[in-house]
Amino acid sequence: MRIISGSAKGKKLRHFKGQTIRPTTDRVREALFSSLQSRLGSFVELNVLDLFAGTGALSLEALSRGAASAVLVDQSPQSAAIIADNIQICGMRGRAMLLRASVCKILDKLGDHSPFDLIFLDPPYHQNLLAEVLNGIVKANLLADRGIVCVESARKQPQPSVTPGLILLNRKEYGSTAISFYSLANQREDQT
């Protein structure tokens, strides 16, 4: 696993051994960032939130491409250690903040760092956390007016039918993985 583009291009990231965590593959990450580039135009000066950050690869990729800052949240001690190493490897210590905490319990405490222009959300598959976290993002006003939430899920995992305050912009499938893009509902006309 490596950083694909930008100032840290080619840096090899630490990742998990075994099957307990499934980091976003380089191929899916490349397709995701291509879609984001089309929507956002540039990553320069974006404020990023990475929930269930795993290895930190998504937010570190955004930082490499010019994002101003990133807050990475994961409660696993193993993830926290790997994320800290990957922040160091990419030379992003001044722009990345790691919070070891439960995502569901910290959302309402992230207001000092918000709003976020880009939120990555990659909850553990099949734990039914998606609706709760999306609702928490809206309730805590974490998403910037023109911001995007990128949700990674299993292709066969159902998405919440309605999330008050958010609109599903698009969903793309890559093998067994699906990426869904959300924005604030009042921004639908501007981003379609």
- Phi (first) and psi of residue 138, to 5 degrees: -65, -50
Which pair of tokens denotes residue 148? 């995007």
Map tokens 């290895």 to a residue: 55
Task: Cite the DSSP H helix spans in the chain.
Answer: 26-40, 57-64, 77-89, 103-106, 130-139, 188-191
Span 133-182, pLDDT tens digits: 999 999 999 999 999 999 998 888 777 666 889 999 989 988 888 899 99
The pLDDT score that the predictor gives to residue 162 is 67
What is the β-pairing status of strands 116-121 and 166-174?
A: unpaired
- Residue 21 domain-assigned? no
Residue 50 exposed, middle or buried by CB count within 10 Å (0-12, 13-18, 19+): buried
* Cα–Cα distance measured from residue 6 to residue 22, given in angstroms and rounded to the nearest whole number: 24
Q: Which of 96, 95, 110, 185 is nearest to 146 (CA)?
A: 185
The yes-or-no verdict on residue 74 having pLDDT over 80 is yes
Domain with residue 146: its CATH number is 3.40.50.150
* Cα–Cα distance measured from residue 175 to residue 128, given in angstroms and rounded to the nearest whole number: 21
- Residue 124 domain-assigned? yes
pTM of the model: 0.90
Domain span at 173: 28-191
8-17, 27-36, 67-76, 108-117: lowest mean pLDDT where?
A: 8-17
- Residue 62 domain-assigned? yes
Domain count, the chain: 1
- Residue 16 domain-assigned? no
Q: Which of 116, 114, 65 is nearest to 92 (CA)?
A: 65
Dihedral sign for Cα atoms in the order 74, 35, 178, 61 = negative
